Structure 1
């Protein structure tokens, strides 16, 4: 589990992607890999999420073994167990649910729950989370991050939600205590491979 957190630390920009077309999914994954990305999150936000995640896992295992591949938008134990069964390296949730934490712990997977308040962050920590997704980051902002980091020095924070992709904005988040940034599909689709 620490290896995955170390990889996220070394490669803190995490593409977050979903598309119904498996060819588009593989293309987005491959573009990200070719651009130097080593952590990729495929979100559970469509009817072909499980099927396309499996195709990405198969592609990764054949051509890009060093990529850490996670499943996002996990909102139930059943979804957690399904994506763990499909070989997700980590799970990202928009919510804090003990049942997801338990499924991740049983299978020794990283669980990254979403939180917006100090109480939610404390609950996540008590449930075993080592990394917390702070969102929507555009609403909460860097002052919130700076304020909570000293309260939870043992936790890593991942920010997401409306963060401009300008380097100065990303630097502000990092200075505020952010450990990694998630970027959306529109960013991935603009990656041009030489």
Structure 2
């Protein structure tokens, strides 16, 4: 039987996209998670950006148990203490906007999949030495697809996930996947504030399904 890290990485590769979302209202977060799952998402990143993010995540984790094959992780983790708290309540993976050795150490000790944020070749190399197999190229809109192609030319054994400014358009996604990314992280470009405010979760499901359909052309 494959371990969770292998299964998680395969889920990231097979869908090609990780939605990145945060909200202080548990019911809104649940509805967005359900819409994404219905659209075909199997890896979902909730972010630690509100005072009650831990509580919301705990509710989401319990709710996610009703969705077979779904992996739920936490992003925007800057400290070992934060990582420990979310790992304790069942986070399947930890994502950081930066390369943070103490978070790497905690994840290694707990056997949790770790995704560090990197913006230079030096950081990517350090991430590799700390045990990363997938790195988050952040901010993606600043680095661009050319950065991914350059990074892969010198450190080809790692997998890359740009986050920040990735757009759900065919043109933008093609550039990223042509550069060699394994998957992309999408947040504000995918979840329009008005849809969230108006509780139009069906529109979110449709938008996510459309993006996944476009991505499928580039990963098959």
Distance 2:205 2:129 in 1: 42
Q: CA deviation at 1:33?
A: 0.7
Following superposition of structure 1 onto structure 2, how do residues 15-26 of structure 1 map, counting pairs within 5 Å?
Answer: 15-26=19-30
Q: How many residues align?
A: 193
Give 1:8's aligned residue: 12
Q: CA RMSD in A?
A: 1.4
Following superposition of structure 1 onto structure 2, how do residues 23-172 of structure 1 map, counting pairs within 5 Å?
Answer: 23-61=27-65, 63-172=66-175
Distance 1:185 1:51 in 2: 22
Distance 1:181 1:132 in 2: 11
Distance 1:155 1:21 in 2: 36
Distance 1:186 1:142 in 2: 17
User: Are the counterparts in 2 of residues 18 and 185 from structure 1 also a CA contact under 8 Å?
Assistant: no
Distance 1:57 1:27 in 2: 13
Give 1:191's aligned residue: 204
Structure 2, unpaired ranges of 5+: 197-202, 207-220
The answer as to 2:189 corresponding to 1:176 is no
1:102-139 CA-partner distances (Å, limit 9, x unpaired)? 11001111110000000010011111111000011111
User: Are the counterparts in 1 of residues 116 and 135 from structure 2 also a CA contact under 8 Å?
Assistant: yes
User: Are the counterparts in 1 of residues 79 and 103 from structure 2 also a CA contact under 8 Å?
Assistant: yes
Between structures 1 and 2, the one with greater strand share: 1
User: Are the counterparts in 1 of residues 93 and 113 from structure 2 also a CA contact under 8 Å?
Assistant: yes
Distance 1:134 1:114 in 2: 6
Q: CA deviation at 1:186?
A: 5.4
Distance 1:130 1:145 in 2: 15
1:163-186 CA-partner distances (Å, limit 9, x unpaired)? 222112111101101111111145
Q: Determine helix, strand or coil for the equivalent of 1:174.
A: helix
User: Are the counterparts in 2 of residues 15 and 185 from structure 1 also a CA contact under 8 Å?
Assistant: no
Q: Give me the TM-score of the superposition, normalised by structure 2.
A: 0.84
